Amino acid sequence: MKKLLGFIFTICLFISPILAQTWPKTYTTMEAGALWVIQNYDKGYLILGSKFNFKLGWIIKTDINGNMLWNKKIGNGQYEIFVKNIEQTHDNGYIISGTTKQNGNQEDAFILKLNSCGELEWCKIIYTPSIPYDQGWRVKPTLDGGYMLLGLYNDSNPKFKSKKPYTSISF
């Protein structure tokens, strides 16, 4: 019996890559390209990208077979927005980080929270008037229900021309 189970297990190991489903898809809504992808709790995918020369962020939700379930715009198209990553939250919603130029030509980091249907719950722009070029790169949910934002800033002080990392916790 053990030999038979071992044989069946071995056959399954060799056949499973052959039977694995692939689904090449093109989502024409993403004109500037996809930047980040995660697998969702329902085994579908969330694809994050940009559209219209970085005037809009874009999120696509697919099912397990890659069929588009919904897609949402991020931003209003009036100012540049650079979406960087998306993560699933503890409540099955989504948290997105990036950079916006909503305040003139100044770059500011942002965090955007969506519910499980992709509807906006809240948005936090980290406006730093004394630091003209700061960016949000990655956001992660924390165990205490907050969020950790990873990014960088470029100090306008001529003595400090290098970019410096920063971390903000619990939004």
Q: For the chain, give every domain's residue range.
A: 27-169
Determine the pLDDT at residue 52. 64
Determine the pLDDT at residue 16. 44
Q: Distance between CA atoms of 163 and 140, rounded to whole angstroms?
A: 21
Assigned CATH topology for domain 27-169: Tachylectin-2; Chain A (2.115.10)
Determine the pLDDT at residue 127. 82
Per-residue pLDDT 10s for the chain (171 aa) are 544 334 444 444 444 444 446 767 777 654 557 778 889 888 899 988 887 667 788 889 999 888 999 988 888 888 888 888 999 998 989 999 998 887 777 888 899 999 988 899 999 988 877 777 788 888 988 888 888 888 887 765 555 444 544 444 444
Determine the pLDDT at residue 152. 81
Residue 69 zone, left/alpha/beta (φ > 0; ψ -120 to 50; rest): alpha
Determine the pLDDT at residue 31. 59
Residue 122 zone, left/alpha/beta (φ > 0; ψ -120 to 50; rest): beta
Determine the pLDDT at residue 6. 41
Q: What is the pTM of this model?
A: 0.73
Q: Distance between CA atoms of 72 and 114, rounded to whole angstroms?
A: 10
Q: Around Cβ 123, how many Cβ atoms within 10 Å?
A: 13
Determine the pLDDT at residue 2. 47
Determine the pLDDT at residue 112. 92
Determine the pLDDT at residue 162. 47
Determine the pLDDT at residue 157. 56
Residues 6+ apart with CB under 8 A from 106: 129, 132, 133
Amino acid in the structure at residue 114: L
